[in-house]
Amino acid sequence: MKILVIEDEPKAAEYLRQGLSESGYTVEVAHNGIDGLHAAANGDHDLLVLDVMLPGIDGFAVLSALRTSRQTPVLMLTARGKTDDKLRGFELGADDYLVKPFQFPELLARVRALLKRGQPAGADPTLRVGDLEIDPVRHRATRGGQRIQLTAKEFALLSLLAQRSGEVLSRTQIASLVWDIHFDSDSNVVEVAVRRLRAKVDDPFADKLIHTVRGVGYVLDQRPGA
């Protein structure tokens, strides 16, 4: 699932980006209200984490403008703890409100609750490709019923490939979505990560799911005989 974080404080934005990425989510970050509103209005995010105190336009203005066209779940973050600020946020359409400072496990629990609320009743969040199953809630991956032990980055990479199953993702896309970095043609970070992931997901099994498309990138797909 894709989350947009709109937070102007660099350390806080990186803290959220890293924590949510390691929890298996694809994270995009905007550092001011104008860029955040543009990204939210034109993206396909499943959730927004929105700070109130932003340069350009504040979080309340972002939320108000967004609600004219989108009903994306919004978790507001702010150092303000006053009741009237909370009420204003809820009146404008916020789905939840968390006051800084907070512990990341609390934020993660609220994020998961909002994402689950947005799913149809009885919807199963598990991602499946062939005999591979990825449970983003329990942060668990299995293949053929066997548990696959993955690092946080490996889980994030596998989740991304599974979410976009059948779609070839370039090295640039993967580097941006998993590591939040601009791809350097001299860097082999993506190749190394894919190789390590293959050793766990594909090597012990006859059917291979992670495929290389030369000159383009990688795709997770079930291909008979592959």
Residues ≥6 apart with Cβ < 8 Å to 222: 129, 130, 207, 209
Give CA separation, 49 vs 14, 22, 155, in Å: 13, 16, 22
Pick the CATH number of 2-117 from 3.30.160.100, 2.60.40.1180, 3.40.50.2300, 3.40.50.261: 3.40.50.2300
* 3-state class (DSSP) for residue 146: strand
Q: What are residue 133's DSSP bridge partners?
A: 128, 142
Pick the CATH number of 127-220 from 1.10.10.10, 3.40.630.30, 3.30.530.20, 3.60.150.10: 1.10.10.10
Render pLDDT for 45-92 as a digit per residue (tens, 0 to 9).
999 999 999 998 999 999 999 988 888 999 999 876 666 777 888 888
Residue-range domain boundaries for the chain: 2-117, 127-220
How high is the mean pLDDT of the chain? 86
Q: How confident is the model at residue 123 (pLDDT cuts 50, 70, 90)?
A: low
Burial of 213 (0-12, 13-18, 19+ CB in 10 A): exposed
Q: pTM value?
A: 0.60
- For the chain, how long is the longest CA-to-CA vector? 62
**DSSP label at residue 120:** P
